[in-house]
Amino acid sequence: MKNFSTVVTRAAAVALVACAAASQVQAAQCAFRPNAPDQHVVVKGDTLWDISGTFLQNPWCWPQVWGMNRDEIRNPHWIYPGQIIYFDRTRGRLSLTRPGGDGRGDPPITKLSPQVRNESLERDAVQSIPAGMIEPYLTQPLVVEANELESSPRIVASQEGRVYLGTGDRVYVKGNLQGGKSFQVFRPGGILRDPQTRKVLAREAAYLGSVTLDTEAKPGVDAHTFRVTETRQEIGVGDLLIPMPPAPVRNYMPHPPLQPVDARVMSIYAGVTYAGQSQVVTVNRGSLDGLDVGSVLQLYHLGRTMTDPAHKGVFGIGKQNIKLPDEQYGSLFIFRVFKNVSYGLIMQVTAPVEVGDVARSPE
């Protein structure tokens, strides 16, 4: 029994040390800036990321300094121009209530919580990141995976055989609609290939427009009748349909991924070689890997491998290679997630982003 007690005591001590170490790591990650102000008056045009950067060394630590749990992070938390955010230095927290008290206890803290607001007030709320930067990517089909390509309904004919279709024109669609009535029209684009495994993860989708069901195919008829409701590019026979996505979430709470993520930048939107701040990239990880909307990853340039100049070997034979560390140079805010692929907005960077760069959970 004595030995058992000793083991338990040691295990408890190890656990306490581990918890303390984890707390120290989180504290180091979520440290406040040495010159952080006592308060910040929210103005129109502010974002949560900008406000966080005013107080914190790492803006993605916003939920931690509000003491939010995972459920709270998933819900909208509105902040409006004119409100004042206070830095409670005693407790290391941000609050909408001025720090203070009667001296007999901890100063009061008011945490943000979901609130019922009318639509006009919601539009006035401060966004997490610059919404205009990602607006085009929220409602358009950006990625289609192999199973979607195989099962997507397709346009098989057009009104009176027209080649160019406009708003109000009829198209005829073959395939299983699975109860859907509103669809987006897309054409498969470039292949998205994993930079590490070279496996094809998905294909990009060129958004062409949208269509709405007029008449579902009756017995003995193979095609459904649709009407074009919007055109962005030429729509024609052979183009595919994907169900209209739900209204996008427009308020994101920055947070580390649910589990450790080690991803690679897979492509840069618009096919350019380098990307900078406020541009969009894809990474080779998605919801199956623990990413969700609002996840923040740190960007690294892969450390190069070089010959050790101090190790000459024998007669110049047997030289050794050494691997230099990866260099962290920025952060990536994930705003749209698919199963194996995610889209992220480049936040602060000190160097250009390249395909193959590392995108990793904050350390």
Contacts of 225 (CB under 8 A, 6+ apart): 170, 171, 172, 173, 213, 214, 215
251 in any annotated domain? no
Q: What is the mean pLDDT of residues 211-225?
A: 94
Query: What pLDDT score was predicted for residue 24?
Result: 39
Whole-structure pTM value: 0.71
List pLDDT tens digits, range 135-165.
Answer: 777 777 778 876 777 889 999 998 887 777 8
Given this model, what pLDDT does residue 36 score?
Answer: 92
From first CA to last CA, the distance across the chain in angstroms is 41
How far is Cα 212 from Cα 230, in angstroms, rounded to an integer?
Answer: 10
Q: Which residue among 88, 107, 132 closes a domain?
A: 132
Task: Give the distance from CA 143 to its chain's centroid.
Answer: 14
How far is the C-alpha of 152 from the C-alpha of 238, rounded, in Å?
11
User: What was the pLDDT predicted at 239?
Assistant: 93
Structural domain for 108, as ranges: 29-132
Instruction: Please tell me whether residues 120 and 50 are part of one structural domain.
Output: yes
Q: What is the CA radius of gyration of the chain?
A: 26
Are 75 and 52 members of one domain? yes
| Of the candidate ranges 11-20, 39-48, 119-128, 354-363, the one whose mean pLDDT is the lowest | 11-20
pLDDT of residue 318: 62
CATH number, domain of 310, equals 2.40.10.410
Token pair for residue 149? 């390509």
pLDDT score at 203 = 87
Q: Are 340 and 358 in contact (CB under 8 A)?
A: no
pLDDT grade, residue 49 (50/70/90)?
confident
Given 132, 154, 188, the domain boundary residue is 132
- The Cα 51–Cα 160 span in angstroms is 56
Last residue of a domain, one of 106, 132, 158: 132
- The 10s digit of each residue's pLDDT in 244-257 is 877 665 567 788 88
- 240-243 and 327-337 beta bridge pairing: unpaired
How many structural domains is the chain composed of?
3
Q: What percent of the chain has pLDDT over 70?
A: 77
The amino acid present at 90, given as its one-letter code, is T
Mean pLDDT (whole number) for 230-242: 90
84 and 44 assigned to the same domain: yes
- 238 and 147 part of one domain: yes
What confidence tens digit (pLDDT) does each residue in 58-95 have? Answer: 888 877 777 766 666 555 567 888 889 988 888 888 88
Q: Which residues contact 289 (CB under 8 A, 6 or more apart)?
A: 259, 261, 263, 340
Residue 126 pLDDT > 90? no
Give residue 247's pLDDT: 67
Rounded Cα gap, residues 148 and 245, in angstroms = 14
Would 2 be classed as within a structural domain? no
Higher pLDDT, 150 or 350: 350
Distance CA 295, CA 13 (A): 33
Q: What is the dihedral of CA 195, 201, 207, 211, to 10 degrees?
A: -170
Distances in whole angstroms, Cα of residue 339 to Cα of each of 89, 250, 276, 342? 41, 20, 26, 8
Q: Is residue 252 part of a domain?
A: no
